[in-house]
Amino acid sequence: MTPVARRAKPTPSMNHRRPRRAQAVAAEHPIGVFDSGIGGLTVLKALVEELPSEQFIYLGDTARLPYGTKSPEVIVRYSRENAEFLLARGIKMLVVACNTSSAVALDRIASETIVPVIGVIEPGARAAAKATHSGKIGVIGTEATIASGAYTRAIQKYRGDAEIYTRACPLLVPMVEEGFLDNEIAEKTVAHYLESLKASGIDTLLLGCTHYPLLRDLFRKVMGPHVRIVDSATATARAVGEQLSALGLARARGRGAQSFFVTERPDRFVRVGRRFLGPEVESAVGIER
Ligand code: DGL
């Protein structure tokens, strides 16, 4: 077996309804990060840049992606199983890197979990509310994220008078995974999705999906230089850093590290994941569900 194709035994607790309670958490413990697949590596990238001494365990549920087209019930179920897998590994904090899971399942996971849980919606919404001058904000994401209204509610908490325009962009996830970041097809697709937001005169565009930071240059090109582009990944990494410091859980010294688990095709995860994160994605362990 190649290093990228190792398989780990499923954890015995993986199908339990409640995540296992963690032992006493300490700064030395790793941070758990999960996503529906590869895209959450954009969040991990921001986390590694912000917190270079931390150790991260990343789980990508590649067998069941995409989450963005699934029902809330299914997204909640998958997300809880992901949380449970990471909690069983003694993490000190859980980062829900997937926008769709954060939009639909965060409250449920947080209510069942003893370690602090941070999703990407709240930090992204706060950053967008801070960035806008006119109060006109565009939000793009998967079908499930947009349908949940989670970003709209979160932005309104920080800026009650905001005018929020939303658009689901389902083709962008497979497009990014295919490596279409700046070709003609990518440009036409992005222009098509952003047309109505552009016409609304937004001054801030919030990238509410893990894959979209890779299209940042294209969003800028299509929207023009006056529209601010805010991505949830960077805002979330800052929020994680603040929260760790506030709780006295930051790992101050030492070299950070990342390990990767996926529910299917570790080889593809490594190949595509390198585009998202870089050469750090050396190998991934396949787990069974
Ligand atoms: N990770 C998902 C998100 O951020 C996008 C991919 C999917 O639909 O599973 O919403």
Which numbered atom of ligand 1 lies nearest the CA of 100? 10
Q: Summarize pLDDT for 276-286 with one digit per residue, the tens.
A: 999 989 999 99
pLDDT of residue 143: 98
Task: With a cut of 80, say whether residue 128 has pLDDT above it.
Answer: yes
Phi, psi angle pair for 35, to nearest 5°: -145, 170
Ligand 1: residue whose CA is nearest its atom 6: 66
Complete domains list, the chain, with CATH: 4-119+234-286 (3.40.50.1860), 122-231 (3.40.50.1860)
Could you tell me the distance, in angstroms and rounded to a whole number, from the CA of residue 207 to the centre of ligand 1? 12
- Asked whether the predicted pLDDT for residue 253 surpasses 50, the reply is yes
Q: Which of 31, 51, 98, 223 is an active site residue? A: 98
Q: Does the active-site annotation cover 98?
A: yes
* Ligand 1 atom at minimal distance to the Cα of residue 145: 10
Q: Reply yes or no on whether 169 is catalytic.
A: no
Task: Pick the residue whose CA is nearest to atom 1 on ligand 1.
Answer: 98
68 lines ligand 1 (CB under 6 A): yes
CB of 36 sitting under 6 A from ligand 1: yes
Q: Ligand 1 pocket test: pick from 69, 99, 236 the residue with the most ligand atoms within 8 Å of its Cβ.
A: 99
pTM summary value: 0.91
**Alpha carbon distance 112, 81 (integer Å):** 12
Return d(Cα 167, Cα 158) in angstroms, integer. 21
Segment 135-147 mean pLDDT: 98
CA of 26 to the centre of ligand 1 (A): 30
What is the per-residue pLDDT for 187?
A: 98
Preceding omega of 52 cis (within 30 degrees of 0): no
